[in-house]
Every structure is written in C-alpha cells, then in structure tokens.
Structure 1
C-alpha cells in the first residue's frame, strides 16, 4: 500500500493505543502515515471521519518513533517529546516507506477485524519481543536488533517491522496490547486458538549521516538504544477494503 513517507510531517508524542487521553504519553515523537488525525484523543469514530495519506483510501493508522540526525536543531528542541525528553536532532523523513500485507505459508488468511490494534517491538529495554530489525540495503539477509548498523557507502539504512499475524478471533486489543495477537510458530502455522490474518510489514529506508550520527527516539531513560525500536498499527479498513486484501493474498496474487 502506498501511504506516503510522512512528507506532510505529521508528528506528535502521543500513543493512543498504550496511553489514550494522555498528552505526551509516548515521551518521544512519532511519524504518522495513513490516518491524518491520530492523537491521544482519537476514538474509533474520529479516526473513521478523518482523511488519509493512503492512495487507496484506507484510513488505517501506522506510526513509529522518528529517526534523527544528531547535532542538528529541530522544531521540538524545547518541547515535550523532543528536547525536553532528551530526543534531539533533525527528524529524518524516510526516502521510502513500504507497507505490505503478506500471507501465511500453511493456511488461508481471514479478515482482520476493523479497529484491531497491534504493536510490534518493545519501547523498553527490559521488555519482551524485541523483534524490530535494523539493516542496510543490499545486506537485508542480515538484521540486527541491538545495534545500529553503519552502512557502507552507496547503501541506505533500513528499519524492518514484522507484525504479529495470528489473531485470537475475538479481541481487537488486550490489557497488555500483546496477548490478543501473536507470531506464527516455526513452521508458519498459528498456535492453537489463533487464526492467521494478513501479515503486516513496515519497511523504512533512510539516508543517514556518515558514522554513528543518528538515533531513534525513545523514552528518556532508554537512552535511544536500537533494541527499543517499535511500530504501531490500528486497522481502519472497511469490510470491502479488507476483503480485497484477503482475496488478493489467498489467490496468490501481488496487488497494489
């Protein structure tokens, strides 16, 4: 899906999934693509009424911590979520954002429910599921979770987020925002009690300064460690849009 690269610079330091109603609930700045209205006050109804950057009209919300070039000033240097929470530097706009839904190798996928929330990765060093990957173009068979790669000349930095693609069939969220969805087993099948939904992947590509002169936003106490990278998704696709995705995947086609 083509939802742009956040060329419109839609930012805030809220997290409506984890901290609804809390201003600066993330304590770091997020990039947003897709839904144009997402903030801590968002409701399902307000999201459905908003515009979208996605060319196919999908109003789903996709957001992740911004990546910054260190040593350069940004508009939020004196604001919460920015400099006041120790997130400093120029916000880098990705040169490419790929939002892809894939199938399951062992079964046909079922429609994901509207308003489903999924978080992949973990913003806390001491948390679980540190599965966000860092790599470089041309070397994507090798991914790191706990180190920033220094890409060779001619190669670009890549962040990869694979989302949980097994759903419990009942809940759009859970108390810890984790247990209603999970990753497939080693053979690709979903655990007992879960069913496969379209597998979302965010792939972000950046031009970054030479050397270790960039960092991802995070909670102040997490010290911008790459292992804290994460990404978030709220499904706002209507029944017709989701069915198109499911039909495309289950028929083995590649669609846009």
Structure 2
C-alpha cells in the first residue's frame, strides 16, 4: 500500500545563478545543499542530539524577561518540561499548494534547491544574534519579521469548532513523546526533499523517531528508536522557535544565519501529540508509513489557501491568529496549534503534492465523498518567550521573512499496527487514552 514519490530535476548552473536574483516563484522551494553530515548530527543512531545552547533555560512567564536575559529556574530536566509532544514540518521544498498537476511542485522545488545552494554559497561567515541579522546571510534572504506581524491576543478572532454529532467520535489518544530534550535538530525534510541535506533551509524540532533526517526511508524509520511511549516510532516535526534577542551558539549557527534564521533555539515547554475523532463519523486506522503535512511553509509567496497555523496563548485557545504572532498576557504562554488533515482516500500513503491523498473535513466536520475519517493529529506547542514584538520568530525559508502564516508541521505514521488499533478504539469509544 505504500506509495512514495520523489522527483529530481537537474538544472544547469547558469540557470541557477540567474534564478538567484529573480523574484520568488510560487510553489518553488529554496534549495538544498550537499548531503554532508551536519555538525553534531552524526549519521546513524540519534540525529542532532548535540545542540548545546539550543534552548532558552527557564520557565518564566512571557513579558517577564528582559532583552538578552534568561529566565532562571523552573525548567524540567533536559532543558524543558515533560510533555506529550506534537508534529511535523510540512512540505517545504516546492510543495504544491493542493492545486496544479501532480509533480509540478516538486519539479520546481528541484530547481529552487540549486538556487538555494547558490545563495548559501555567497553568504558570509558573519556574526548573528541580536543586531547580527544581516551578517552571514546569503542572497535571497528577505528580512523579517516586522512589527506588523505581532498583535495582542485580545485582537485575535474567535475560533469556531463543529459540534460532534450523534455518529461522531469523541475520544482522544495522546502519544507521549517528550519535548525534544535530546535536541534532535536538522534542516532536512525527507517527505518533500528526500535524500537532500538542508532541504528545508530552516531547522526542525523532532520528537518520536530518533533517526529522522533527509535520508530517512520507511525501512530506516522502522529500525530506529523513539522518544515516544508504547513503541510509537512515528516522526513528528515542526520549525523551531527562536529568541532573537539571544545569540545562536549551536553547531549549525553559521548555516542557519546564511538562510536568515538567527537567534537562540527555544524548545517547547510542552509538546502534545494528540489524535482526535471526527465530528460526523467514526474513524478508521491510518496505514503505516502514511505521510501527512499541514500548513504551507511558503504561504508568504504561495498565498494562504493552505495556511493552517493557529497562534494563540495558553488559557485563551478559543481565539487565535493565522497571520500574526500573539502577544500574551502575563502568566500565559505563547501557543502553536497545528491540526492535520484527516480525510483519507483509502488507498495511498502519499501523493505527488503530499496533500491529495488526505484532505481536511468541511466546516461541519464531514469528510468529502470518497474519503474516510482517520484519527486527526493535533500538535499543541507551548513556549516561554519574551512578550515583545520582534523578540521571537519562527524559522522559515529564506524568502518567507519568518511570517507566522508559514507555520507548518509534518508527520509520518510509524505506529505498530496494534497501537493504531488501540488509538482507533479509544477514539471511537469516546475514551481518553495515552
């Protein structure tokens, strides 16, 4: 049942040089570098486990922290609070926004990969951190975010959730995977840029499968260890958050700066990977090795048709932004909620644009004709970050200017079949399980 597709496009060097000075192209993904191992990310075993300084210590409420100061204490062992973690990094890399001929997005992504390599090659080695945004960045980096990308949470629109009907499924299952205490980081995306080093041009947090990187395959994922309980070897990943008032002292700081991603990586204090039911029907098991993405890493240039980010604050999840970072009241934590599509075509584990095989329900919660409901993954990520405009931002592709609308996530199901049956039974029977 497994269907995996990868499309490689060879582009002459002369065209790449010309492309590096052109305007961004919709569906095109900035490029990849060579498959050299990332410092601190030895091939084999756990990836990216050594990323010193990758997190802002402390458990301070937003707004309490002065620029450049770290909040003391309150932090769980391993640099963050234990948590149930949630999701993946969506399909950067030329992913089609759900339209167009299959494969178009990946072909163009291949072209842009060369362009990205060119941009990075021209970047300097300069400094980074506060005041260092323009140093060491390659050509094609669009500065951002700006003050207009931030707003008080009180200005966010309210969320409308469909009611669960008589035939709906009310249960939940939480996969307890931690919060990336082991600092598994890399800028790869094996779903949309398989076999490519730095295929995402932004760093990901990973929980679950310990081997996830650009070289991952079904076989390597199945053979690896996991941070999740109950043998869940699934890969969950998403772009990191950074405190831009502090310097990035990780092994990949220069590489990140060349792509325009600066500041200290901040791990979530809570990462909840929760599978939910469908408001109109029972759910069926998703197949092993299914790839599922949410959001659009290039929504800044593609448009917002596939933008699915929800930016909110703890205790105020009834409202949220898609296109702004929220400024949270004292004692409330910045929160990202990433909900994944959950209406499966019943046949494929992937598709050319990584979207067509599994789509979102309609506004009532019903799945389109010809699809069936599967457990819906919801990733909830909470952070301690300075509560000020420009002090924090999401990692992004170089030309996406760290816009909050580009938030996204990725997931590959590597649960044992027995565990997936447990998930389905919990959801359909209305229980809350973990």
TM-score by length of 2: 0.58
CA distance in 1, matches of 2:396, 2:237: 13
**Residues 191-233 of structure 1 deviation map (CA, whole Å, 9 limit, x = unaligned):** 0010000011000000001302000000010000000000000
Name the structure 2 match of 1:129: 306
Aligned partners of 1:209 and 1:186: how far apart in 2? 35
Aligned residue number for residue 345 of structure 2: 168
1:138 CA displacement: 1.6
Deviation at 1:155, TM superposition (A): 0.7
Partner of 1:250: 428
> Cα offset for 1:3?
0.1
Consecutive unaligned residues of structure 2, counting only runs of 5 or more, are: 1-174
- Aligned partners of 1:201, 1:61: CA distance in 2, in Å? 14
Question: Partner of 2:327: helix, strand, or coil?
Answer: coil
Name the SS for the 1:171 alignment partner: coil
Deviation at 1:71, TM superposition (A): 2.6
1:78 alignment partner in structure 2: 254
Which residue of 1 is the match for residue 284 of structure 2? 110
Q: Is the aligned partner of 1:45 residue 2:219? A: yes
Q: Distance in 2 between matches of 1:161 and 1:2?
A: 17
Q: SS state of the match for residue 188, structure 2?
A: coil
Q: 1:38-84 CA deviation, whole Å, 9 max, x = no partner?
A: 111111000000000002210000000000000312212212xx111
Aligned counterpart for 1:187 among listed residues 355, 364, 370? 364
If each structure's strand is expressed as a fraction of its own residues, which one has the higher value?
1
**Which residue number corresponds to residue 94 of structure 1?**
268
Name 2:400's counterpart in structure 1. Answer: 222
**C-alpha distance in 1 between matches for 2:211 and 2:340:** 22
C-alpha contact 2:176 2:228 (8 A) present in aligned 1: yes
For the Cα contact (< 8 Å) 2:231–2:416, is it kept in 1? Answer: no
Question: Among residues 388, 394, 398, which one is paired with 1:211 in the alignment?
Answer: 388
Could you state the TM-score of these two structures normalised by the residue count of structure 1? Answer: 0.98
Higher helix share: 2
Question: Highest CA radius of gyration, 1 or 2?
Answer: 2
Match of 1:138, SS state, is coil
Taking only aligned residues, the RMSD between alpha carbons, in angstroms, comes to: 0.8
Structure 1: gaps spanning 5 or more residues: none
Deviates more, 1:12-21 or 1:98-107: 98-107
Number of aligned positions between the proteins: 254
Shift of residue 126, structure 1, vs aligned partner: 3.0
